[in-house]
Each structure stands twice: as structure tokens, then as C-alpha cells.
Amino acid sequence: MLQKIIDRFLPGQETLLHLTLPLAVFSIAVAALTGFMRVKKNIPVPYTRKTFHFLVFSAAGLLQYFYGLKAVSLLGSIVVIIVLLAVIAGPRLWFFRSLARETDAPHEKKFIIVPLFATAIGGIISNILFPQTAFIGYFVGGLGDAVGEPVGKKWGKHQYTVPTLFGVKATRSLEGSAAVFAVSFMVAVFCLFHVSSFSVWNCILVGFICGLTAAVVEAISSHGLDNLTIQVFAAAVIYFSLFLKL
């Protein structure tokens, strides 16, 4: 049983041969882009960090839809290596500076590593429990969650505190949560149009439930762990709607 699960995740020779180089180039390019945005364009970390988040999650969703889970495992392995190298290098590397929030001081590195592995664990859980819809969880987590922090940074007026790790104070905003809901709703509806035989109204209804779930889960998740919770709960909502025909 365990070996079968492991085999589902491990990239085979063909996947490694055909996708390692393009995915490595993609990952390095995204890291370089966000580093450039932060250092040369002085774009705030909430935007650069979420740019990386958005691009990697979206790539994972597309890879799983077109190439399968093994391709996503390969991308995830490459991203983990690049991010860990950035953490080791520290502020002298532009990419690190695009990920390290000042508000996470003095634990900036921990709040890069924890979300990184939370994302990986969330992907593993989603693919074990909800394999047919895990890729939708990537899209909801990648796009829906990605807008919350930048929107809250720019327009957030009604803030609330959230659970956190390492004693770092963390806040979110109702405006950011509303953005998470809106984008998650639209992403879920779009995906349902393409993978289900639901009517338009059923797609909208399930999309609404998924968006609301994503917003609530994001609002109550500990700072640093929402990459895990959002993708798992989004995948679960879509899974049960499809396979139990809610």
C-alpha cells in the first residue's frame, strides 16, 4: 500500500528525461524575476513573494492536468532545492530578499521554510485523499490565496490577528479575505466548467462554496500554514461535489 503511494509520486525515467531541464529553467527564471522585482524595482515583498507563489502553484496545476502527478513531484523537488539554497545564501541573494518579509523578523528564514514544506505536505495529502481534484486545490491555493496578502497590504483597513508560529505577530484583513473568496470562487467555477458535467448554476454554487471555504480556512489558518490548508480543503470541496454529486 505504502509502496503504491510512493510510486504514484516518484518521477519515472521518461519524466526526468523530458521535464527536468525545462522545469529547472522555469523555476530559476521565476526566482530571478521575483528577485529582480524586489531589488531593482523595489516592489514590496508581499507582491514579489506572492508572484513566486502564483507562478509555481499555477505551473503545478497545469502540469498535473496535462502530465500527471509525477511531473508535479519533479517541479516540487526543484523548487524545494532552489528555495533552500536561497535560505542558505541569505540576504546576499536577490531571490531570498523577494521572499523574506520584514514583518517576520527575526524569523524570516523560518517563514520561508515552513510554508515551503506546508505546501509540499498539502500536495501530498490532497493527492492521497482527493487525487482527481488535487490540481484544482493548487489553482485555488495559488491564485486565491495569492491575492489576499497584496490586497490586504494595499487596501486592508479592517484587520484581525491570526494564529502564528515563533511568536511573530500576524494580521490579515477583511478586504484580503474578500479577495481570497472572490478569486477562489472564480477559479473553482472555471475549473468545474472544464472537468465536470455540472450545469452552469451548479458550477456557480459549488464554486461559491469552494470560495467561501477557502476564505474561511485562510482566515483561521496559522500564519505560514495556509498553503497546506487551503489547497486540501479546496480539493475536498470539489471532490465531494463531483463524486457525491452534491
| HSE value, Cβ hemisphere, 13 Å, CA-based, for 173 | 15
**Ramachandran angles phi, psi of 92, nearest 5°:** -70, -15
The predicted pLDDT at position 50 comes to 93
Q: How far apart are CA 237 and CA 178, in angstroms?
A: 19
**Of the ranges 8-22, 155-169, 198-212, which one carries the lowest mean pLDDT score?**
155-169
User: What are the tens digits of pLDDT across the range 108-151?
Assistant: 999 999 999 999 999 999 999 999 999 999 999 999 888 988 88
Query: pTM of the predicted model, to two decimals?
Result: 0.93
